[in-house]
Amino acid sequence: MNWKFWQKEPQQDMEFWSVFDPLNDPLLDYLWPQPASNFFPDWFKNVPRNIDKDLSKPTIRKCPVFPEFMTTGYVVPMWADFEIHFNDDGSYQYECAYETDQFGWEWHHPDQYLKWLPKNEQSKWGNCLKPHVPWRIKTPMGYSCYCFPMMYHFTDIQPLAGSIRTDHSHEINVPVVFPKHMMNKTIQIKQGEPWLWLIPFKREKLIARQRPYDKETQRITEASRFSSLSKFDNGYKAVGQMIDKKLKKDAKKG
């Protein structure tokens, strides 16, 4: 007899913890990694959905790919206040509001990264440091995390994008580049500011194949367009929610 119909599948969770134990206290949960939706850009919220309320003139606010992307994954906020002073010769000094040797910033020599950039990019960036991130991230086996800067937040502090196999490598010490206009200045990084964007994904290889543009492909194309554009608002989102609901239902049956 198949008892699977009542057995609950184990939840696939992404877990985090801090090697600086005070940060694990629930009192400080506002500094924990959080859903990216908690840091949705304010400027985007203020964009009207249509120009002059004309439904035929949508703005970027109505394009579904942006809010879907901006609310995907998790954000690591900055865990303490920092002041960093950059000197013209490449040296730097930093100070943390809380004295501990666990919150350091390590220098990346130009030979490690900046020197090898294209000339037009070298002219933009003045220094590269790697923070000692107190958080560790663990994903289920077969899952990794993309690491991104806070895109669409338009900050000058830019963690380098990359990918970490967080199912076995849990540190997220990502190098950060600072623009040249910050050199010979003291900058502040505030506690709680969104700093690093993590998007977990399953490592699967999808093979891309070209298919002919025949009647079936044309039907798929037209159905896709109709499903998104046959509603004044949220057509794309509504279809996506229905598909997700169906996938969950099918998974329970399986």
Pairing of strands 125-131, 176-179: antiparallel
197 in the same domain as 80: yes
pLDDT at 224: 85
Residue 238 belongs to what domain range?
Answer: 210-254
Of 32-46, 119-133, 235-249, the least confident: 235-249
pLDDT at 4: 42
Summarize the confidence of residues 20-33 as an average pLDDT: 97
Summarize the confidence of residues 99-126 as an average pLDDT: 94
Residue 6 has pLDDT above 70, yes or no: no
83 in the same domain as 63: yes
56 in the same domain as 151: yes
CATH assignment at residue 30: 2.70.40
* Mean pLDDT of the chain, nearest integer: 90
Of 11-20, 70-79, 122-131, 187-196, the least confident: 11-20
- Range 48-54, long-range pairs (CB < 8 A, 24+ positions): 49/233
Residue 117 has pLDDT above 60, yes or no: yes
71 in the same domain as 142: yes
Q: Read off the pLDDT band of 152 (50, 70, 90).
A: very high
Summarize the confidence of residues 230-239 as an average pLDDT: 77
Answer yes or no: is 110 within a domain.
no
247 in the same domain as 141: no
Summarize the confidence of residues 162-175 as an average pLDDT: 96
Answer yes or no: is 74 within a domain.
yes
Answer yes or no: is 142 within a domain.
yes
Q: What is the pLDDT of residues 34-53, one digit of tens each?
A: 999 999 999 999 999 889 88
216 in the same domain as 186: no
pLDDT at 1: 38
190 in the same domain as 165: yes
Summarize the confidence of residues 222-226 as an average pLDDT: 86
Answer yes or no: is 226 within a domain.
yes
64 in the same domain as 160: yes
Summarize the confidence of residues 195-214 as an average pLDDT: 94
Q: Read off the pLDDT band of 11 (50, 70, 90).
A: low
Of 3-7, 128-132, 143-147, 164-168, the least confident: 3-7
72 in the same domain as 38: yes
Answer yes or no: is 251 within a domain.
yes
Answer yes or no: is 35 within a domain.
yes
Tell me how many domains the chain contains.
Answer: 2
91 in the same domain as 35: yes
Q: Read off the pLDDT band of 7 (50, 70, 90).
A: very low
168 in the same domain as 139: yes
218 in the same domain as 165: no
Summarize the confidence of residues 220-232 as an average pLDDT: 83
Summarize the confidence of residues 218-225 as an average pLDDT: 87
